[in-house]
Amino acid sequence: MRLKTTIQLAVTLAVIMSGMSQAHDTSGLGAAAPSDDPYLWLEDIHGARAMDWVKAQNAVTQKQFADSPAFTQTRDRILEVLDSDARIPYVERRGDYLFNFWRDKEHPRGLWRRTTLDEYRKPEPKWEVLLDIDALNRAEGKHWVFEGSDCMKPDYKRCLLSLSPDGGDAVEVREFDIPSKSFVKDGFHLTVAKSEAGWIDENHIYVGTDFGPGSMTTSSYPRIAKVWTRGTPLSAATTVYEGKADDLAVSATHDRTLGFERDFVAVAHDFFHSDTYQLKDGKLIHLDVPADANAAAHREWLLVQLRSAWTVGGATYPSGALIATKYDDFMAGKRQFVTLFAPDEHTALSGYSWTQHHLILDIMDDVKSRLDVLTPQPDGTWAHQTMPGAPQFSTVEVMDTDPDNSDEYWLSVTGFLVPPSLERGVLGEGAAQIIKQSPAFFDASKFEVSQHFVTSKDGTKVPYFEIAPKHLKLDGSNRTLLYGYGGFEISLQPAYSGSIGRAWLERGGVYVVANIRGGGEYGPRWHQAALQANRLRAYEDFAAVAEDLIKRGVTSPAHLGAEGGSNGGLLMGNMLTLYPQLFGAIACEIPLLDMKRYIHLSAGASWIAEYGNPDDPKQWTFIQTFSPYQNVKPGVSYPPVLFYTTTSDDRVGPVQARKMAAKMQGMGYKNVWFFENTEGGHGAGADNKQAAHMHALAYEFLWDRLK
């Protein structure tokens, strides 16, 4: 929810990671379909034969793991957490109001609402409901899932709302008027597609969507950015930039910051390489920064966060550094930067946030948080000050700021055993104050958190967090759940989960989070160490953590489970096929698994920079070493596995989990389970009840198989 008033070279990546819209080649039956794959028919996502198979699989899995008092209790206790009125209603400031989206038992699809700061400070604030999604669904006979809003500053009266028909990335965009709390008649409107839209002024928006054949990239995202004028048909929108089919995505944005209004076009070539242009007087002016850097303009400043070392202006700045210069000076050709952050062996920059006069850095030190405040000085230097008070093994994150108007900031403070608190402060006016505090959903006094380091196969030290009962008996008998991700420079930091506390820890289990390579825990170097041909490093790291847990006596293979989703689902597939001897059960959720076909399924082409191109024979040589669908074999002692996916996932898609389950069952494996939710997109569910069912199913499966 952090306010973003800057442009970023990686803006399109951020949109894709959080979800944009409709998928490319949803049938999956297009290019490069192998004739020797007997399960291709499961790639027909909504086909009658495929859906009959899904329904039959769901019934078997439901009967085995969900038709029991234990499952019902676990599901209901998780749902209590998700629906609790005592949860923190996280907010985003827009002008004089604090906006929130809220789901609970009475409003499963949610309320979009706002309140004032004075009201929000109260134990039970009064909210002004702007849109009731459940009421909208009843009125329209739909199943809309709210996917966010873009409101035009500075008055924030007109908004572009994104509504997904099933929780997937495809959204319908509608213009909404806040004063009347209604959709604008004949306002801006986009039918369901993978779309991106943003305000220029009250009568113009930038739009990227499915304009017709050839207008989307092979990765399934907009290839063309246009300006659309109110009152004209979409077909009359004028083109600003047209990318290539093999680009990842193209987008255009307008910065409405008073006195610093600028327009930008971002061309994402892949997840980690982009070009950005300022659009000025009808001309495109390239920002001359490395293609793999993230650059952001804010008021008079240009900040560049580096993924690789950059020599410029007579100086060399290291990978992972954050450097700053005056925007106008840079565009005039000057190349003198100030280093705001430089990483070392233990630290990495997680993110940063502007206030009106300051910059807050979010820094990870061996995967634990600290915040630094930087203030530009008249002589061109930046003053540094560390914010005190971060608890041990915690994550402190800037949730929101108000950079146009004040030095206000909002912090989330949490840890594995520390329920999150929401703090508000104003830089220069003393310490932040707790505004909201989440209740404890389980008794944390019985547990303790520790951090460990293990040496991976190539000698690299890999950290992991362990949450376990106090005075744990190291006799190898503890049911232990090992979680990981390891991709796309995404970090796994300490975070509180009432669901894990109730469904796993309170039952006596141990929970472990592995900070393997491929993630961003130590910056770009940690991510790049497991890219493409080096992908196996991530899996070696995860296996090393598993072996260390066994060696230390925390658990044993029969009692060790593993869980991961999306890229983490690919991790689980490789634990299943490469290290089956280490695990007693595996939960593999919304996964990539068929790495031979992945670029031809849903949005798979967008991940070539991460995994490689399997259509290139040279690259397939290394990709096949971590492609579970190709590597699964008959006659191996595989641990029990649950594949979980959703029909509406238009990012990874359900077909990979379907095919893997069918292939293993076809080989005669009995302990292979499958469940597919029809809604939810690339996530746990379209509402809290669906999410609770999914989580409970995974935990009950793991708990049952690890006994």
Q: Mean pLDDT throughout 37-42?
A: 96
Tell me the pLDDT tens digit for each residue of 280-300. 999 999 999 999 999 999 999
Helix (H, G, I), strand (E, B) or coil at 112: strand
Residue identified by tokens 């390239």 is 286
Q: pLDDT tens across 426-436, in order?
A: 999 999 999 99
Cα 71 to Cα 694: distance, rounded to the nearest angstrom: 11
Q: Looking at the predicted structure, is the pLDDT value of residue 401 above 50?
A: yes
How do residues 643-661 score in pLDDT, each as one tens digit?
Answer: 999 999 989 999 999 999 9
Per-residue confidence (pLDDT) for residue 346, from 0 to 100:
97
Give the residue from 684, 686, 503, 587 showing the smallest Cα distance to 76: 503
pTM of the model: 0.93
Burial status of residue 318 (CB atoms within 10 A of its CB: 0-12, 13-18, 19 or more)? middle
Buried b (16+ CB within 10 A) or exposed e, 679-701: bbbbbbbbbbbbbbbbbbbbbbb
In tens, the pLDDT along 177-236 reads: 999 999 999 999 999 999 999 999 999 999 999 999 999 999 999 999 999 999 999 999
Tell me the C-alpha distance between 567 and 592, whole Å: 6
Q: Mean pLDDT over residues 107-131, rounded?
A: 97
SS3 (DSSP) at 479: coil
Q: Per-residue pLDDT for 680 more than 80?
A: no
Residue 152 near residue 206 (C-beta atoms within 8 A): no
Q: Cis before residue 38, ω within 30 degrees of 0?
A: no
For 457, the enclosing helix (H) or strand (E) is none
Which pLDDT band, with edges at 50, 70 and 90, does 14 fall under?
very low
Pairing status of strand 368-376 against strand 359-365: antiparallel
What letter represents residue 330's amino acid?
A: F
Phi, psi (5° rounding) for residue 559?
-110, 5
Catalytic residues: 566, 682
User: Are the CB atoms for 402 and 356 separated by under 8 Å?
Assistant: yes
User: Which residues lie below 8 Å from residue 64, measured CB to CB, with a gap of 6+?
Assistant: 673
Over residues 15-33, the mean pLDDT reads 38
